[in-house]
Structure 1
C-alpha cells in the first residue's frame, strides 16, 4: 500500500470546455488572470463584473468575451460548466462557490484551496498537447517554476506534430496491429524524420516520411531486455531502464523488485511475477527461461526485471543462453548492484588507499561448503568482501574466514534493504556475525561487507550488531 504522503489529494483530469459556458466573477486582477488562462481554451467565457477595471475591459473586448455588467447572483451561472469566484474578497468568493455547488457546478475560489472543487494548473500549451502542473494549491510559485522548465523542453512545433498525428491515427489503427508495432510507429513518428520535417516547416515532407514509416514498421519482432532494477529505491533506476519499461508489452519481475519499481512500467503492460525467494519459488529458472522465449517468439517486447544488476547473481547467463538458442533478440540494461547501494548508505569506501585495493563479490553459500574459495587468500591480504544473501549462513561465513586467517576484530557492516526508506544499518566485528542467524526481525535482503576498509565508514546512523552487555557476555563465555 502506498504511503499516504505519496498519494495525491486530487485526481488529475482535463475538463471538456469547448463551446461550453465557463463563468468568471470579479472586477480586478484575480478575474483578469482567470480570463487570460481560459483564453487558452475554446470555452465560451462569461465575465460577471459590475465594475471591471480598465485592463479587464480591454481584454474582454479584444477577445469577444461575453460581459454581464451586474453584481453576482446565482441565476447568472445556471448552466455553466465551471465557475470561478475571483472577486478578491474571500467571503464573497466563498458565497459564489456555495451558489455554484448548490447548482452542482464545480467551482474555484481564488487563493482559497479549501474552497476549491478543482485547481487551475500552471499550463504549458502546445495545443492539442497540454501539460498541466498542479501543487494542490500549496505552491503556485513552484508550479510556475516547473512550467518554465517544461516550456523550454517542448518544441514549439509539438502542437503541429500532434495535429498531424491525428490525421494518421485512423490509418495506423487499420494497418498496424495493437501492441509493439503501433507503439514503435508512434515513437518514431514523434522523434524521427517526421518530427524533424514538421519542425522545419516542411509539412509535405513530413507526410511523405509518415507514409514511408508506415510501410517499414510492419514485421517488428519480439525482443527481451534483461534489466537491472537496482537495489530497491525507485530513483536509482537508470534512465535506460525507465525508457525500455515504457516500451514493453510485458514486465516479468522477481520478488525482490519493489512494487513501486514495477509500477513505473507502462500502465497497460502485462505484469508477470516469477517471484523467487528462499523456500518460495513460484517458477523454476527453466520455467522462466521458457516463458521469456515464448513471449519473445510471439513478437512481444519484454522487460525482465531483476533486482540489482542482472549480471551479478542474477542468473542472466542462463536466460541469455535460452534466448540465443531460440533466436530471440535481447539486450542487457545494467543496474546498480546492492553492494554499491549498501556502501553508499554507510558512506563506506569499498576500496581505500593503502588499506584495500581489491573488492570481492560473493554469496554466503560460497563460504558454506567444505572447500574454501580461491579468493579467500585475497581477503586475508586486505580485500573488501561484499557478501550477498549472507544472513542465514553468517555463522559459517565468520567461522571460515577466521579460520582462513582474517582477524575476529575485522570490522563488518550489515545492511538490510539497502537504498530503501526502511533500510537498517548495523555494524560490528567479524566475530559478531553469527548473531545474524537468530535475528528474526531481518526479513528483507541483507548485505554484509567485511574488511579493514569498513572502518572508514560513517557509523553514526548505524546500530551495533550486539548490545554492549551481550557483547561482554559472549566475550566472557568465549
Structure 2
C-alpha cells in the first residue's frame, strides 16, 4: 500500500492554496464543496477562483509565497507551474509535518487527491498513487454507472436510523439487521419518497430481530491451495460477513487480507506434531462462538472435506443444533497439479486418482500399499515432505517400478511454487538436497512424465 487512505473533514477548516491559475481552480472547486475556508496566495487570481474563495469565507493574498503563509492552516495545496515554488512549499510542509499536495507531482506530496465519486454522504475515492491517473479515471467512470445518483439519499436515510437500531439491538445483531435492510425493499421506497412505508418496514424488522433466536452460525470454507484468485465467489461472500475467523497455517496472508477487516482473528494453526490448538478445542470453540450469536468463519486450506477435518467439526455443530454451511475449495491436488502442468488423469497414463495422507487419526499410518502399485492410476500424497523417503521405499518394496515418474510440488499455486521431478528412486535425494519447505504435495504416476512439455503452458 503506497498511500494510506483517509477522508479529511475540512468543514470550516483553513486550507492554504498556492497558485491562482487553472490548476488551482480545479482543486479549489473540490475544497469549496468540502466546506473548507480557503486562503489563496498568488500574485494573480482567476475571477472564478476569487469568487469561490470569497464564498468559502476565505481570502486572496496578492503576493508571492512565503514560509510564514504556512501558519494557521491544516492542509496545503501547491498548484503553480513554477517547479521551484512547488519544491519549496513541499520541503517546508514536510519539515513541519503539515499535509501537502503538489498537483501532478507525487514525489513532492505527502498526500494525494484521488478520483472522486460523490454520492454524499457516500464518497468513493480511487487512487493509483499517481502512477496511472487516467486508469483511475477510467475506473471512476465504470463505478459511476454502478452507483445510482440517489444512493446518497438512501445512505442519509440509514444515518437517521443509527441511534434507533443501536438502542433496539445488541451489537452482534446490528450488522445482520443492516445487511437485511440494504438487501430489502427500503432502498426503492426511499427513492420513491415513500418514507412512511420505509419506516414501517424498519419498525417491523427491528421487532422481528429482537424476538429472533440469538444463535449464530458457522461457515466451513475452503480457502484453496494458496492463490487468492482461486477462492470461490461464495467463499469471498462469507469472508466478508463473518464476525470471527478461525484459520490455520495453510491459509496465506493474501487470502486473509480478503477477510472482513474488523472481524476477530483466531489462529488455530497446526504443523506436524505441533498443534497451536487441539482439534477438540477447535470444535468446541466453533460451538461456543456460535452460541454467542456470532457468524463464525472456519477458514481451511484446500477443501474442508479432503484431509481438512471438516467432518469432525460439523459433527459437533450438528449435535449442538448450530446452523452451518460448508463451502468447498480447490483441493491442493487439483490446484498444485494444474499449476505444475501435471494432468491428474490421462487416457494413456491414468484412469483414476488416489488422494492419500500419512497422517490419519491417532497417528495410524496403515496404508494399503498393495492397492497403490497399479500403473494405471495417479497417486497424490498430502503432507508428504517428512514421509517422502518412506513412501517411495514402501511403493518400490510392494512392486511399483523404481523408474515411476514422481514430482514434489512446494508451495503450490503461490509465487514461491517450485516443482521437483524425478522417479521413485531419485526423488528423495533430490528433495534432501533442495531445502524444500512445507507445504508440499507428492504426485506419482505416468502423468508426471508429461510435465516438462506442459508446464510452459501454465498461466
**TM-score w.r.t. length of structure 1:** 0.85
What SS is found at the alignment partner of 1:272? strand
2:207 corresponds to:
215
Deviates more, 1:331-340 or 1:343-352: 343-352
Matched, 1:453 2:447: yes
Deviation at 1:53, TM superposition (A): 4.6
Whether the aligned pair in 1 keeps the contact of 2:317 and 2:324 (CA below 8 Å) is yes
Task: List per-residue Cα deviations over 1:24-76 (Å, max 9, x = no partner).
Answer: 2323331122123324412223444443456x459749976855262334455
1:140-166 Cα distance to aligned partner (Å, 9 max, x none): 223222222332332322211211111
The C-alpha deviation readout for 1:112-131, integer Å capped at 9, x for no partner, is: 22222211111111111112
Match of 2:31 among 29, 38, 47: 38
Judge which range, 100-109 or 294-303, deviates more: 100-109
Alpha-carbon shift at residue 108 of structure 1 (Å):
1.6
Q: 2:328 aligns with which of 334, 344, 356?
A: 334
1:285 lines up with 2:279 in the alignment: yes
Aligned to 2:87: 94
* Stretch moving more, 156-165 or 213-222: 213-222
CA contact (8 A) 1:60 1:67 kept: no
Q: 2:53, 2:265 → 1: CA distance?
A: 55
Change (3 A) 1:373 1:186: farther
Name the CA shift for 1:152/1:40 in 2 (closer, same or farther; >3 Å).
Answer: farther
Counterpart of 1:72?
Answer: 64
Conserved? CA contact 1:157–1:198, under 8 Å: no
Equivalence map 1:25-424=2 (5 Å): 25-53=18-46, 56-57=48-49, 60=52, 68=60, 70-74=62-66, 78-98=71-91, 100=93, 105-179=98-172, 181-218=173-210, 219=212, 220-364=214-358, 369=366, 371-372=368-369, 374=371, 376=372, 380-424=374-418
After superposition, give the CA deviation of every residue in 1:320-368 in whole Å (9 maximum; x if it has no partner).
1111111111100111111122112212222224432322211245895
Query: CA separation of 1:78/1:224 partners in 2, compared to 1, >3 Å: closer, same or farther?
Result: same
Contact 2:217–2:324 (CA under 8 A) maintained in structure 1: yes
Give the Cα separation in 1 of the matches to 2:252 and 2:63.
Answer: 57
> Which is worse superposed, 302-311 or 148-157?
148-157
Q: CA deviation at 1:385?
A: 1.8
Distance in 2, matches of 1:370 and 1:417, equals 25
- Pair 159,260 (structure 1): closer, same or farther in 2 beyond 3 Å: same
Does the Cα contact within 8 Å between 2:219 and 2:238 map onto a contact in 1?
yes
What residue ranges of structure 1 are gaps of 5+ in the alignment?
Answer: 1-7, 463-478
Task: Give the SS at the match of 2:356.
Answer: strand
Which structure 2 residue ranges, 5 or more long, are not aligned?
none
Distance 1:106 1:194 in 2: 40
Distance 1:370 1:183 in 2: 48
Q: C-alpha separation between the residues in 1 aligned to 2:94 and 2:300?
A: 50
